[in-house]
Amino acid sequence: MKNGNGVFHDVCAKERKDVANMNSRLEELLNSLQKKEEEKLDIASDILANARNELYFALRYLDTALSALHFQADPGCETLGTDGGFLYFNPDWLLNAFLNGKVRVNRLYLHEVLHCLFCHLWQGEKRDAFRWDLACDMAVESILDELYLPAVYRRPGAFRKECYRKMKEELKVLTAEGIYHQLEKIQEEETLARMAGEFRLDDHSRWLRDGKGNTARNRQKEWQDLREKMQTEMETLAKEAAGDSKSLLERIQVENRERYDYKEFLRKFSVLKEEMQVDPDSFDYIFYTYGLEHYGNMPLIEPLETKEIRKIEDFVIVIDTSMSCSGELVRQFLEETYSVLTQSETYFKKVNIHIIQCDDRVREDVAITSAETLKSYMERLTINGCGGTDFRPAFQYVDELVGKQRFSRLKGLLYFTDGRGIYPVKRPAYDTAFVFMEQDFLDVDVPPWAMKIILSPEDLDRDVEEKG
């Protein structure tokens, strides 16, 4: 019979053995769980690689873009997300999504790539985050819904179709910028929430919205370069692009258009002319002061009273007042033009600007002589016309004004329009630019002698901010 110490030692030995067994079992379990986790990550990576391959075979011109994102597991990611360099994925979500159908995974992979190609990640700093995120998702999904390819196609529901229909009533091309401005008009939270539930599919938490920093700028530049190369490839494969990818090509062309600084563009119409003022570059204060000090009221060198500056004096703005050109857009264009005109270093105090309203004939001609008269004109602005669009009467009328010597030196004409009209065949004696607003964008050809400018509200707002 064992004494108390013997029993105690036996209990301790058994306990040590049990602990050792539990440690061993726990280690085996942890190893097993680790292996399972590694296996899960491997499977998830294979799923994404398979999605990339399927998309590549369906859309050959996307090969470089599809390979530009490196896979990175992140359990904190809701679904898929990107920062322009990595494609973040939640392994659990990805496995479940794949089990429910690979089309869902393919679509969301392409969804992320399109966000990057359109640089949505780096453009949201000065916008309402909720509306901007929703606008970007709607823009991307509208492209995917028009890609009738087995790898990504999913029949859109009735609510989604209705959203597209309403947007297309105001927008010719469903860009994120255009959709965003339409969403700003929607104040019903219930409507916005329902739209978000329909279109918000990915994780935007890693977007570098201010576009600042070397990483953000470099990545944005890389994706812009990819987008430009894509356009070339798609236009080369015109037959393929004109089919299932027509909507994507159209969107790429809009995004790749040249971005204009409106202020710098208007300077194209400036002329060299003398204006009464001291030229600080030519005036020498040392000699001037010396003369005053030693000879009384007799400076050695008189200050120069004139300086040649490039400024705008004679100018014509024609407003297309057809049914297709809205009064709201006209007013916005004039307001932003006014903000540039009031910058004294670019324009004379006294100007000779004719604002002509024209549809299929000239409806109104108002002569503007100063920034104040332009402001007064905008306050009482009414659109006259709303007939068809014919550009020729406006040019004929301006030529008549030139013949009557209503201008001393007419340098240019801006024609604000949507482009759907009859153009003159003959080149006028002055430079001409047809100006389009992005939300009313239609890719039309203008005559070879004319400039074509497509402006977004952001392009115009930038000039206002610089002035302020």
Instruction: Read off the pLDDT of residues 24-60 as tens digits, 9 standing for 90 and up.
Output: 666 665 566 566 778 888 888 999 999 999 999 888 8
Asked if residue 287 belongs to a domain, the reply is no
244, 268: one domain: no
Domain count for the chain, please give it.
2
209, 180: one domain: yes
Structural domain containing residue 196: 61-255
Instruction: Provide the pLDDT for residue 270.
Output: 59
243, 273: one domain: no
Mean pLDDT comparison of 105-114, 168-177, 242-251, 379-388, highest-scoring range: 105-114
Percent of the chain with pLDDT over 70: 69
**Greater model confidence, 324 or 309:** 324
pTM of the model: 0.64
128, 194: one domain: yes
Average pLDDT for residues 278-283, to the nearest whole number?
A: 50
235, 274: one domain: no
Asked if residue 361 belongs to a domain, the reply is yes
Q: Over the stretch 401-436, which tens digit does the pLDDT of each residue have?
A: 999 988 888 878 889 887 678 899 899 988 888 887
Q: Over the stretch 337-391, which tens digit does the pLDDT of each residue have?
A: 766 665 644 455 567 889 999 888 899 999 888 777 887 888 887 777 677 788 9
Instruction: Provide the pLDDT for residue 344.
Output: 47
Instruction: Provide the pLDDT for residue 315.
Output: 83
Judge contact between 248 and 235, C-beta under 8 A.
no
Asked if residue 376 belongs to a domain, the reply is yes
3-state SS, 219-280, equals HHHHHHHHHHHHHHHHHHCHHHHCCCCHHHHHHHHHHCCCCCCHHHHHHHHCEEEEEECCCC
CB neighbour class for 23 (10 Å; exposed up to 12, middle 13-18, buried from 19): exposed
